[in-house]
Amino acid sequence: MNEEVLRALSGLIRQQETCVMEADKVNSLLLEPRTRAQLASINAKELSADTYKNNRIYQLFLENRDRLGFLEWTSYRPFEPFVFKEAESDGANLARTKMSIGYFREEFPFPALLDKRDSTIWMSIIPHEINTMDRHLREMSGNVLVFGGGLLYFPLMAEQNPLVSSITVVELDKEILMIDKEILRETGAKHKISLTEGNALESSRNTAGYDHVFADLWHMAEDGIPLYSALLQNEAANQGTAFHYWIEEEMIIYLRECLLVYLQEVAEGLADKAPAAYEDYPGQTNSEAIVHALRRMRIEERATTKERLLSLISRDSVRELAKEIRPSWGI
């Protein structure tokens, strides 16, 4: 890398390090008692609980609370901070990320499906879920194919749209499929929705007859990259269908972070000292798998000038890069 590229990269790394420190501060407050001063220090926004309590599907679950006995109702405590919408890049400072933290003045109950192994929340209907799906829901029409059933929030909301003709949900997990069938049976909201057992990747190879695909197959950006990459490739072969991806912007941000980590390794002369095979990495973490994939691609050869470096980390470029990545984990 020449001096111009190294200077630009150094500035981007400093921006990213600042974001990491800010995120650490936020995460520490998610685990400890909070004061109003602490909430103000992370720019937490007071939210209206009624906005979410008036959501039609939230009300549907509340009305059928007794019949949906497999769900646990937990809650956000008053002034408990939480992430309420998707992370965003900070304008021209692409290496900086804006987190949206909110809180309620009152207790806010919500339905959740717990993981039987450790009783942690597996799926839930919370403000983050509602907000991150809203934009995609507004774009739905015609025949809709949904990958991943979850608690059926997205299909049930899409069913309310008169422009939507049908909703087909593809779910691989037999347990979730049984739960989703029970949700439809107990809520009575099923005239547009059909459930089918199947593999999303196989189904995404040919989406003829569907106007929109919505994929929600991951819990967070970090674990979503392998499936996101594979689906992007299948999207290119199905030009007649519009594909939509839950928390896509967060996955692009995460990929950009991994890209900058790798470029920093190159700049510091560490890239050639990395293990030749992913299996030889000590931690075998998701980020290591992505960095290893970028190393195989020799992505640094695309950042020969400052302008090319900035172009490489742009949203559209990172999205295109996601199609090329072949992580050694996940699918």
Provide DSSP, 181-211.
HHHHHHH---SSEEEEE--HHHHTT--TT-S
* End-of-domain residue from the set 216, 243, 270: 243
Which amino acid would we find at residue 171?
E
**Side by side, which strands form the sheet with 82-83?**
45-46, 101-103, 82-83
Q: Is residue 72 part of a domain?
A: yes
Q: Do 116 and 193 sit in the same domain of this protein?
A: no
Overall number of domains in the chain: 3
Cβ-Cβ contacts under 8 Å for 294 (sequence gap 6 or more): 258, 259, 262, 325
CATH number assigned to the domain comprising residue 211? 3.40.50.150
In the predicted model, is pLDDT for residue 211 greater than 90? yes
* End-of-domain residue from the set 98, 127, 156: 127
Q: What is the mean pLDDT of residues 159-183?
A: 96
Q: Is residue 134 part of a domain?
A: no
Q: Quick one: residue 65, left, alpha or beta (phi over 0 = left, psi -120 to 50 = alpha)?
A: alpha
pLDDT digits (tens, 9 = 90+) for 282-311: 556 778 888 888 888 899 999 999 999 999
Q: Is residue 177 part of a domain?
A: yes
Q: Do 203 and 275 sit in the same domain of this protein?
A: no
**Side by side, which strands form the sheet with 108-114?**
72-76, 108-114, 121-124
pLDDT digits (tens, 9 = 90+) for 21-39: 777 777 776 666 577 788 8
DSSP assigned state of 212: E
Q: What domain range includes position 182?
A: 139-243
